[in-house]
Amino acid sequence: EIYYHGEKVCANVIVSNNSRKAVKNIKVMVVQHCEVTMVNNQFSRFVAEMETREGCPITPGASLTKSFYLVPQAASNKDRLGIALDGHLKEDDVNLASSTLV
């Protein structure tokens, strides 16, 4: 799928609790993977995340299907190191780096 700057990312979560313990909370994250070809290095950073107890606890043998919406934005990641950006961090209109397939 293709997402544009400022657009919501939908995470469809399906949990089937086949364990003996109850699920107490759900954590959903958007991860930015970056490959730097000049130095042959790769790294990953969380650019959006949420944790919720909505629909919990999920008791043993139960299941849950839910959609979560996250909006990854450069403004909410200014304090994190290693985030790939389009533009300079000090600019107001800076965005998270676009994806490129090579």
- What pLDDT score does 79 carry? 79
Mean pLDDT of the chain: 87
- Residues 73-91 have a mean pLDDT of 78
pLDDT higher than 70, residue 81: yes
- Name the percent of the chain lying above pLDDT 70: 92
Domains of the chain: 9-96 (2.60.40.640)
What's the Cα-to-Cα distance from 29 to each of 8, 33, 47, 61, 74, rounded to whole Å? 13, 13, 8, 25, 15
- What pLDDT score does 89 carry? 60
